[in-house]
Structure 1
Amino acid sequence: MQHPDEPVPPGGSGLVRVRLDVAYDGTALHGWARQPGQRTVQGDLEQALSMVLRVPVDLTVAGRTDAGVHATGQVAHCDLPQGVWDEHGPRLVRRLRGVLSPDIAVPSVAEAPPDFDARFSALGRHYVYRLTDDPAGPPPLRRADTVGWPRPVDAGAMAEAAGLLLGEHDFAAFCRRREGATTIRTLLALDVARDGGLVTVYASADAFCHSMVRSLVGALTAVGEGRRPPEWPAALLSRTERSSDVPVVPAGGLTLVRVDYPVDDELAARALVTRARRDASPA
């Protein structure tokens, strides 16, 4: 989540803050953030918006997903001139469908309060990781978002290990550190459930640092395969650098499913709190 901060539109500026709900199949995409010469969600979506609206569009996103990661509940925002919004807003969802590739969709576009910030106003992000240890592999219709796991895993042991990771910790061992960014996060939920051959990991936090979810799932699978005891992932929380012992699971099993926000009159306060935390020096 490295996009520059976007300030609240000043009163009388003639700008409208617009929220976009976004979904995508990340298989052929090189992540959210625009990159020269690569297809990305931000690059394709900004190009489509600029084409339809005939004005430059700069998006701020709730969470920058990596290459190959999917989303059904991504959120972004931008500021548009009032006249542009009035003219195109009612038809924007349909018109975007006509110009976007089939692997990116915008199910909803709506005017948001001026204090709304897709990144800094968020209370929590919710991800799902899907893998199957069924010898037949993923069902054909779920092959894009479900990883075929080569060895059986014990979901009960994974769930036991997951419960020991909850709360506020420095997750440096599970993150690819970014310069100036803290790795302290509050893990709100980490649940593991089995349904036949499908094992699903549900992860929720105030925010996730780079590669954190895939590393957490990687540590849990090491426990599930019996290579590590259930206490091992939590023992890594004492480390201040990324652990090379933690495997990073494939991106294709990960989906951002929801982003939570406070009620409208608490948006500004939430953004201030989040900015203060992100500006803190790493522990």
Structure 2
Amino acid sequence: MPRYRLRIEYDGTPYVGWQRQENGHSVQGAIEAAVLSLTGETVSIRGAGRTDSGVHALGQVAHVDLARTWKEHTLRNALNAHLMLAGERTVVLDAAEVPGDFDARFSAVRRHYLYRIISRRAPLALEANRAWFVTRELDHDVMHAAGQVLVGRHDFSTFRAAQCQANSPVRTIDRLEVTRSGELIEIRVSAQSFLHNQIRSFAGTLKLAGEGKWTVEDVRAALEARDRKACGPVAPPEGLYFLAVDY
């Protein structure tokens, strides 16, 4: 039974998230339905990471086992045709046959996320549901400096959701960079794995630093508190993108 790695892009706005759920339509469910429509096979695909409702992806990765061998470009094109016919906001960027021991989740060595903020007075039109709209002026240099406090191996209890199911709050952040181009501020974060709501918690806290409400030392104190109550506001989901996965 051949295994295929799928690299996936999606607009998270109409979905309840990546994971299949009973309370609404998911990205995972959309792709599984496309596989069923194409092959007649009921499959369960595994993603490299879960995303919440409203969160987007430019490079989510999943794997699927199929009954027969497909040409890679044929599989990609056929799945996209079925996704399009179903009116989905999901596309398969590429498909590649991989060894049977490849696992989209457990074989990953690093995950990359992007958080986008647009700082301006006028409301968003083209970027609605694609970025966090912030009317206050933000100092991205201060945000970047504060973000360096979060780089490295730490107990991130402050920055994980109360319902996070991870066994340990300890994670290692390999990179956190904040850059600006005009109105757009981008926060890029890389690590092997993340806690639930960790990046959105980072973004909300760094926004406080960018506004001048928190200092770098305030962010350090929040981290060291190891207490969810010490976290800044959780940023909204529409600014978050699952960017890529390294294997």
- Same fold per superposition (TM over 0.5): yes
Q: 1:95 aligns with which of 73, 78, 95?
A: 78
Determine the structure 2 residue equivalent to 1:160.
Answer: 145
How many Å separate the matches in 2 of 1:180 and 1:123?
A: 17
Equivalent residue runs for 1:53-132 within 5 Å: 53-81=39-67, 84-86=68-70, 90-100=73-83, 101-132=87-118
2:12–2:55: 8 Å Cα contact kept in structure 1? yes
Q: Distance in 2 between matches of 1:128 and 1:180?
A: 22
* Aligned residue number for residue 158 of structure 2: 173
1:76-123: CA deviation from partner (whole Å, max 9, x where unpaired): 012222xx234x755221222222134100011111122211111111
Return the letter of the residue paired with 1:167: G
Q: Structure 1 regions of 5+ residues with no counterpart?
A: 1-14, 262-283
Question: What amino acid is aligned across from residue 228 of structure 2 in structure 1?
Answer: R
Q: Which is further off, 247-256 or 96-105?
A: 96-105
How many percent of aligned residue pairs carry the same amino acid? 39
Pairing 1:26-37 to 2, within 5 Å after superposition: 26-37=12-23
Preserved contact between residue 215 and residue 246 of structure 1 (Cα < 8 Å): yes
| 2:120 equivalent among 113, 134, 141 | 134
Q: Structure 1 CA distance, aligned partners of 2:5 and 2:135?
A: 41
1:205 is displaced (CA, Å) by: 1.0
Alignment partner of 1:249 is 2:235: yes
Query: Normalized against structure 1, the TM-score is what?
Result: 0.81
1:210 maps to amino acid:
H
**1:53, distance to aligned residue in structure 2 (A):** 1.3
CA–CA distance in structure 1, aligned partners of residues 26 and 193 of structure 2? 21
Q: Write the mapping of 1:177-196 to structure 2, written as runs, cut at 5 A.
A: 177=162, 178-179=164-165, 181-196=167-182
CA distance in 2, matches of 1:124, 1:141: 31
Distance in 1 between residues matched to 2:169 and 2:242, nearest whole Å: 19
Equivalent residues of 1:137, 1:149 under 8 A apart = no
Number of residue equivalences: 243
Q: Secondary structure at the match of 2:175?
A: strand
Deviation, 1:171, is 0.8
Q: Is the 8 A contact 2:4 2:97 kept in 1?
A: yes
**Which segments of 5 or more consecutive residues in structure 2 lack a partner in the other structure?**
none
Q: Deviation at 1:241? A: 3.7
Q: Distance in 1 between matches of 2:40 and 2:221?
A: 53
The amino acid of 1:99's aligned partner reads H
Say which SS state the counterpart of residue 146 (structure 2) adopts: helix
Query: Aligned AA for 2:62?
Result: A
Q: How does 1:13-32 map to 2 (within 5 A)?
A: 15-32=1-18
In angstroms, what is the RMSD of aligned CA positions?
1.6
Once the two structures are TM-superposed, the CA of residue 168 in structure 1 deviates from its matched residue by 0.7
Separation in 2 of the partners of 1:78 and 1:243? 40
Q: Could you tell me whether the CA contact under 8 Å between 1:17 and 1:77 is conserved in 2?
A: yes
CA distance in 1 between partners of 2:242 and 2:217 (Å): 27
Q: Which whole-Å CA distance do the structure 1 matches of 2:165 and 2:188 have between them?
A: 28
**Structure 2 CA distance, aligned partners of 1:60 and 1:54?**
19
TM-score using structure 2 length: 0.92
Alignment check: 8 A CA contact 1:145 1:255 kept: no
1:159-181 deviation digits (Å, cap 9, x = unpaired)? 11011111011111000143452
Per the alignment, in what secondary structure is the counterpart of residue 66 of structure 1? Answer: coil
Residue 85 of structure 1 aligns to which amino acid in structure 2? T
Runs of 4+ in 1 over 3 A off after TM superposition: none
Q: For 2:21, what is the secondary structure of its paired residue?
A: coil
Q: Contact between 2:159 and 2:231, CA under 8 Å: does it hold in 1?
A: no
